């Protein structure tokens, strides 16, 4: 894992859910589906889908996955995620703007790190958000390193080589 000294941040809040809702509506309409048809195809209740599209409810990771499958797009495409590495999962710190705590999460993008952590917290009956206007701050702190990068950066070690102290 290569660690970054310069922070790469993304603030995630209400605007994130608006972007996802717009993507869902656009892709649904492009396929010629009604809300009812998409609800049946995805296995999400019609009222819940309507509330997600109208940004009255925060969409959860499992719902994003179901909708992406039903709309025949990738999850990353549906949430407008910018991948931070093509090699594997990066390491992120997810926190809130108003509370001084930080949690680590591995994921392919900042937005996916946020959704994965929110799911973990929801599973134990908690949430990052206290109210609808709260924002999460997601900071990229490390990207995976390939074996070739390590070999290129680190000097060769020979068995008979003396270790300097």
How many Å apart are CA 55 and CA 152, to the nearest integer? 48
CATH number of 12-79: 3.60.20.10, 1.10.260.40, 3.40.720.10, 3.30.930.10?
1.10.260.40
**pTM of the full structure:** 0.80
Please, how many CA atoms are within 13 Å of residue 99, restricted to the half-sphere of its CB? 14
The domains of the chain are located at 12-79, 90-151
pLDDT number for residue 161: 66
Mean pLDDT of 56-83: 95
Model confidence at 4, pLDDT cuts 50, 70, 90, reads very low
Note whether 18 and 161 are within 8 A (CB): no
Cβ contacts of residue 68 below 8 Å, gap of 6+? 74, 75, 77, 78
8-66 pLDDT per residue, tens: 888 898 899 999 999 999 999 999 999 999 999 999 999 999 999 999 999 999 999 99
How many Å apart are CA 42 and CA 35, to the nearest integer? 10
DSSP for 38-62 reads HHHHHT--HHHHHHHHTTSSPPPHH
146-163 pLDDT per residue, tens: 777 777 777 676 666 676
């Amino acid at each position: 894992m290569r660690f970054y000294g310069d922070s790469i941040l993304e603030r995630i809040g209400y605007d994130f859910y608006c972007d996802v809702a717009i993507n869902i509506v656009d892709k649904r309409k492009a396929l010629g589906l009604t809300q009812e048809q998409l609800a049946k195809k995805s296995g999400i209740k019609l009222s819940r889908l309507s509330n997600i599209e109208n940004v009255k409810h925060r969409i959860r990771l499992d719902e994003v996955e179901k909708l992406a499958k039903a709309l025949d797009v990738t999850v990353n495409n549906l949430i407008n995620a910018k991948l931070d590495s093509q090699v594997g999962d990066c390491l992120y710190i997810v926190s809130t703007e108003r509370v001084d705590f930080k949690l680590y999460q591995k994921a392919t993008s900042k937005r996916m790190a946020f959704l994965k952590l929110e799911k973990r917290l929801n599973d134990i009956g908690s949430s990052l958000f206290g109210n609808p206007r709260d924002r999460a701050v997601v900071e990229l702190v490390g990207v995976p390193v390939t074996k070739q990068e390590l070999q290129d950066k680190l000097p060769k070690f020979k068995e008979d080589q003396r270790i300097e102290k």
